[in-house]
Amino acid sequence: MAQEKIMVVDDDQNICELLRLYLEKDGYNATIFNDGEEALKNFDSVSPDLILLDIMLPGQDGWQVCREVRKKSNVPIIMLTAKGETFDKVLGLELGADDYVTKPFDTKEVMARIKAVLRRMDHSSKADEVKEVRYDKLVVNMTRYELKVDGKVVDTPPKELELLFHLASHPNRVYTRDQLLDEVWGFEYYGDSRTIDVHVKRLREKLEGVSDQWSLKTVWGVGYKFEVNE
């Protein structure tokens, strides 16, 4: 089996070497970059399976790097944030981060998070054998990461698509915001789940009035469901 490739982007060389040591010991292939621009420049050639990304970077910071990566890839991203910095959870979710770890960190914890995120990706690719859901005038295809509304492809960010696919795969089932954070983003964000509302609002703008056979419904005081008229 090919080694999984982890890209480490951090300007602290000691942290990078420590992570490289642990990653290689656990059988991963580690590639280190000390600034965001270099990492982005080499992203395609490295083609990582996961990125460990520091927020405070010279040049382009971690948020910008995360945003650029998400434009073209759904590779899992774990953000590294210094203790004392407020990790903006909503921004992290909005930009598509998969998890975050606070520095100074226990290296074993980082390794456990990496394994958990990779396992989840592996599990989701195996679990969703049906990678497409179809309804009247709506097709959500997760193999191609494509949303078709009334026969036309609609440009949609990966997380919006994943959220819609998750809801539409379980019609009429009500999900709380926390469940959606956990099951779509794959990790629990305590407290602030505004990001779900933002994603649903954007999806509604794309889907409003397309069909009277289904709709994205708010269940007040609970969460959301993809309602299908029987």
In this predicted model, which residue has the larger pLDDT, 187 or 100? 100
pLDDT of 169 higher than 60: yes
- What is the per-residue pLDDT for 182? 79
Is the CB of residue 42 less than 8 Å from the CB of residue 20? no
- What is the per-residue pLDDT for 84? 57
- What is the per-residue pLDDT for 120? 73
For the stretch 171-181, pLDDT in tens is 999 999 888 88
* Number of other CB atoms surrounding residue 84 within 10 Å: 7
* Tokens of residue 204, six digits: 């509604």
- What is the per-residue pLDDT for 183? 82
Torsion of Cα atoms, 94 then 98 then 99 then 103, to 10°: -80
pTM above 0.85, yes or no: no
Measured in residues, the chain has a length of: 230
* Number of other CB atoms surrounding residue 9 within 10 Å: 28
